[in-house]
Structure 1
C-alpha cells in the first residue's frame, strides 16, 4: 500500500470534492482521527497508520516498548500532506508508544497503545443504546467492571453528502465512566470475548446512529450495484457533484417553497391552521399519539395538520413550560398560539420544545403541528404520555381528540440540500462516520440494524451484501467477518396465523448469516419487549454475537455459535420432518415433547396452526387432511410464542421453509 489513503468505492471527483471541503492544516504533523492515546491496533497483520504533515515532508515513524524500538519506518507526505505507513505484524500485547517526527514540526507521540483485535460496532438505535437508556441484565457489570485492555472509541454522529476524513474523539480505557457512554451491545460483546481470550486486547469502535436505514451505511457507488436503486444512487451522485460545483445551491430555496406549497394545501391560505381563527369544524378527530396508518391511510406520504386546544389557568399560563410530542416520523413544524416553537427533520427523534414565559395564555391555548412524512410510516409514533405540556412539576397529558386534516395530493420528493444532509439520506452516515476510519485494520464487525427496514426485506440481503463488500474493500482485514443480530420480538402476539413483516425480516437476516461469506446471525428471540422497540437486555445480545465470533473467527468449536437453523422439510409417514443444524440436544423450554409455534402453509398461501413434536433430534409437524402443504413456518409473528431450543439454550428463530 502506498502512502495515500485509498477509498476504493468512491469516485475521484467525489474524493476531490471532499478534500476541498475539509479545513485541515497540512502544516501540522498529526495522526489521523482513529489514533490516540490508549488506541488498539490490529495484531498479526501489517497495520496502516496515517495522518497529516507538510506536503512532501519526510515522516519518521517508530513503535517502542519499554523505550526499545520495536519497529521503525520512513515515508513522504504526498502533495496534499497525507502520509501512511504500515507496521510489521505485532503479536497481541503492549503497551507501546508510537511516535512520528518530521523536520520543522514538533514530535507527536501516542502512548499506552496495544496490539489486539479491533471490532467495529455499527447499526441503528439498538446498537447505539447505552447504559443511560436503562438496562436490565448486565447493568451492574457496566457500573462495576474495569478492563484495562478493552479500549473504546466512539465516532460522533455526523452526516455528509461527500466523504469526510476526520472526527473528534479519543480512545478510552473501558472503565465504568467510559462504558456508560458506549454501545451496551458492543460492551457486552467485548467483555464476552475478553473472558475467553484473556491475553488478547480488544478494541471496540462505536459507529452508530438511531433510526437509520441500512442505505445510509454504504457508498453511492455500492448502492449503484443494487439494480433496484441504481438509478436513484447515480442520480444522487450527479446532484451532489453539481451542488458542490455551484450549479444547484441557489435553486434550492425556491424549489423548497414550491415543494411545500405542493404538499400543503394551506401554504397560501389567508388564515393558516396554526392561527386561532382558523375554522377546523369540518376536520376529522383522532386520539394522539397516532401514526398515519390509522387515520391518513396505509402508506400515505405527505402532510397532515393537527390542532388541539388545552385550557389553562392564569397561574399555569404565567410560567415557562415544555411541550413534548414524543417521536415524529419524519418532519414537524410545531406552533403554540400561532408562535412557531420548534421543528425537526430527523426521523423519529423525540420532540421536546421549550415555551418561554408569555407563550401560553389563560383560557384556550392552540397547539398546531404540521407533520410531513416522506416514506414508510409517518405521524406521531411515541407513547401516550410522551404528548404532554409540562409546567413546573405538573404534567398535562394531551392525548385527547385532536382535529386533523390530510392533504391528499400526489407526493413529490422533497428537494435536498447537500451541505446538511439527513441521517437517512443515501450514504450520509457512511461518508460522515465510516470513511474517516478507512483503511483501518480490523478483526471484524458486528451489526445491529433493521428495524427501519422492516417491510423492505426483499432488498435487505442485496443491501447487506453490498455493504459488506464495501467495508471489506476499504477497511483492512480481507473478507473479515460481519456478524448481525436478528431483530428482537416486538409488538403484538396474534391469536391466528399472521404474515408478519417482522418475521419476514428476521428470517431474511438469519439467511444472511448463513449465506453471506464470513457472516452469522445472533438469535435473540428470548430478549424482546412487547412495548419497546429497544429491549433493555443487551447482555444477551452481546454474548450471542460473541458466540459467533468465538466459534467462527477464533475457532472455538466447543462453543455453540447460534440457534437451530432449518436445513430441510421432507414428507414422511408421520408428517413433515424438519431437520436442523446447530441443533445438538434439541429440547423445549419446559422439557416436554410438544413443540409450539409451528404453522403449515397451503398452496393458496393460507397458514394454519400445526401440532409438532420432537423425535430423534428433529421436529415432526402434523399436516391437515386433504390439504396440500407447501411450506412450514416457525415463530412467524411480530412477537412470537415458541419453545424450541438447542442444548445451549439458544432459541430457534423464525423461518419459512418449502416442503421438498
Structure 2
C-alpha cells in the first residue's frame, strides 16, 4: 500500500480560490479509492487513482471564509488545517519581485513590526531548475507575521496588504516564485519558445550565462511554475525586464509568457506587471528605456493586462529601488478596481495614445489624462525629429488634457519621444499623481 501524497502547496494554512471550483490532486497506489471532505460543505468527493497512481478531485468553493479543514482518505489519511477560502495571486519575476524587507526597504522596521495579518498567507517557491517539467516543488504556506513577512517578497506583501485593507474579511494568498537576475525566457516553456521564430531569436540574444541565476530557456518554468499549473488563481503579478535590457522585442517575449501560462491554466487571468525603473545601465543610454517602451506597447497587444509605472519612486543609482510599498499599492489598486469592482478612482498612469502634427506643432493625446500636470510647470523631456531622424529638445505645454510640443529645429515633425533615456524620470503626471510612461512614436 502507498500513502496518500499531495504537492507541497496543499498544506496547512493554504488559501484556495473562493467562489469557484478548485482542483486538488496527488498520488496514491494504483486504482485506490480517494475520499475528500471539506468543512465548508457536507458533500463527500470520491475518485480513484489512475494507472500512474495519480488522482484529482474538483471541489466547489464558497464565499470567503475559514479556517476550514480538508480531509483526504485513501490507504491512510491526510488532514489540512487552518485552510482559508479567499483570493490567490501568483507573483513572479526577477530580483525586484524577490526582494524582501530584510534585504532592505524603506521604513523596514516599522513595516515588519506591523505585519500581523492572520488572513494573509504567504508561499515562497524554493529556487530550483529542471530540464523537464516537474510535478512538485518545495515550499510551504505560512501565516503572515513579522517573522515570515520579512523574508517574503516585499512587493507581493504590500499588494496583499492593500487587498486585505480594502476587501476586509477576505483572506489573501500570495505565492512568490521568482529568481533574481533571470531573463523572461527561463520562465517560458521551452517548446513554446521553439514554436516562435521571434521568441527563438530573442532567446539567443538574452543572457547566455550568469553566476547568479539560470539562463537556459524554460528551466525555472519547469521547476518553479509548471508544478503549480492547475492551482486556481485570481491572477498573476510580474516584475521583471532588467535582464532583458537591449531586447527590441521584449513585448513579444513577455506576451509569449502570458499566452503560454494562460494556455496551460486554461484561464485568461489578469496579468499585471511593473514597468522597470530608470537606472544607469552599462553599455548605452537607451537599452533600459527600450524595454520600458516595449512593456507599454504590450498593453495594446495582450488583453486583460495592466502596468504600473514607478519612475517617480525609484532611484537611478540602485537597480533595486527600496521604496517597494507604492509598487505593491499601485498593483493592488489596479486589481481592486478591475477585478474586484472597487471605486478606486484613477489607477493608471498616463499612456501615449496619439501624436498629430499641425505645421510645426504636435498635439499629444494620452489615455488616463485627467488632470495632467508637469512637476516643474514645464517639461524638459519631450523631443521631436524630422525626416532625418535626428531628435531635438522640444518645448511642451499642457492645454486642457493635451500636450502641445514644438521645437525650432524641427519644421516638419515626423517622430516624437518622451523621457527617452535609461535614467529619465517622468515629469508628467495625472491627477492621481501617477507618472507618465516613456514612449517613442510616429507622428500622424
TM-score (norm 2): 0.94
2:222 maps to 1:431? yes
Equivalent residue, structure 2, for 1:560: 346
Q: Is the 8 A contact 1:138 1:539 kept in 2?
A: no
Q: Using a 3 Å threshold, how does the CA distance of structure 1 residues 479 and 165 change in structure 2: closer, same or farther?
A: same
Asked if 1:616 is matched to 2:385, the reply is no
How far the C-alpha of 1:474 sits from its partner, in A, is 2.3
Q: Does 1:459 align with 2:245?
A: no
> Following TM superposition, by how much is the alpha carbon of 1:139 offset from its aligned partner in structure 2, in angstroms?
5.0
After TM superposition, give the deviation of residue 659 of structure 1 in Å: 0.8
Offset at residue 533 of structure 1 (A): 0.9
Q: Does 1:534 align with 2:312?
A: no
Using the alignment, how far apart are the partners of 1:499 and 1:232 within structure 2? Answer: 20
Aligned partner of 1:274 in structure 2 is none
SS of alignment partner, residue 141 of structure 1: helix
User: Is residue 2:12 matched to residue 1:28?
Assistant: no
Instruction: State the alpha-carbon separation in 1 of the partners of residues 237 and 410 from structure 2.
Output: 46
Quote the residue 2:138 is aligned against.
168
Instruction: Name the CA shift for 1:60/1:626 in 2 (closer, same or farther; >3 Å).
Output: closer
Check the 8 A contact 2:386/2:410 in 1, yes or no: no
Change (3 A) 1:232 1:599: closer
Cα 1:492–1:430 shift into 2, 3 Å: closer
Q: Distance in 1 between matches of 2:409 and 2:358?
A: 14
Find the counterpart in structure 1 of residue 389 from structure 2. Answer: 605
Q: Find the aligned partners of 2:64 and 2:385 in 1 and give their Cα distance.
A: 52
Aligned to 1:397: none
SS of the aligned residue for 2:289 comes to helix
Structure 1: which 5+ residue stretches go unaligned? 1-25, 237-298, 302-328, 332-346, 350-421
Count of residue pairs the alignment pairs up: 443
Quote the offset at 1:424 in angstroms.
1.3
The residue number in structure 1 matching 2:45 is 73
- Once residues 540 and 172 of structure 1 are traced to their aligned partners in structure 2, the CA distance between those partners, rounded to angstroms, is 24
- Do residues 94 (structure 1) and 66 (structure 2) align? yes
Listed one character per residue, the Cα deviations across residues 120-169 of structure 1 (whole Å, up to 9, x for unaligned) are 00000110111122111565222322111110111100000001111222
**Which residue among 18, 21, 24 is the counterpart of 1:43?**
18
SS at match of 1:533: coil
Contact 2:208 2:216 in 1 (8 A): no
The Cα offsets for residues 465-523 of structure 1, whole Å up to 9 and x where unpaired, read as: 221122112236x2001111101111179xxxx96111111011012134311101100
Q: Which of 87, 92, 106 matches 2:76?
A: 106
CA deviations over 1:161-181 (Å, ceiling 9, x no partner): 001111222100111111111
Q: CA RMSD in A?
A: 2.3
Counterpart for residue 302 of structure 2: 516
Change (3 A) 1:654 1:97: same
Superimposed CA distance per residue, residues 260-299 of structure 1 (whole angstroms, 9 cap, x where no aligned partner) = xxxxxxxxxxxxxxxxxxxxxxxxxxxxxxxxxxxxxxx9
SS at match of 2:86: strand
Query: How far apart, in 2, do the equivalents of 1:500 and 1:438 lie?
Result: 36
Q: List per-residue Cα deviations over 1:49-106 (Å, max 9, x = no partner).
A: 11111111000001014xxx4442101111121111111132111111001011xx22
CA distance in 1, matches of 2:432, 2:109: 23
Q: 2:375 aligns with which of 584, 589, 593?
A: 589
Distance 1:194 1:232 in 2: 39
Residue 95 (structure 2) aligned to one of 110, 120, 125? 125
Q: 1:624 to 1:435 in 2, by over 3 A?
A: same
Q: CA separation of 1:632/1:499 partners in 2, compared to 1, >3 Å: closer, same or farther?
A: farther
SS at match of 2:122: strand
Structure 1 pair 562–138 and aligned structure 2 pair: CA distance change class (3 A): farther
What SS does structure 2 have at the residue aligned with 1:567? strand
Shift of 1:225: 2.9
Alignment of 1:288-299 (within 5 A): none
CA 1:545 to 1:568, structure 2 compared with 1: closer, same or farther past 3 Å?
same
Check whether the contact 1:598–1:612 (CA below 8 A) recurs between aligned residues: yes
For residue 627 of structure 1, report the CA deviation from its aligned partner: 3.1
Q: Does 1:576 align with 2:362?
A: yes
User: 1:177, 1:209 → 2: CA distance?
Assistant: 21
Pick the structure with greater CA Rg. 1
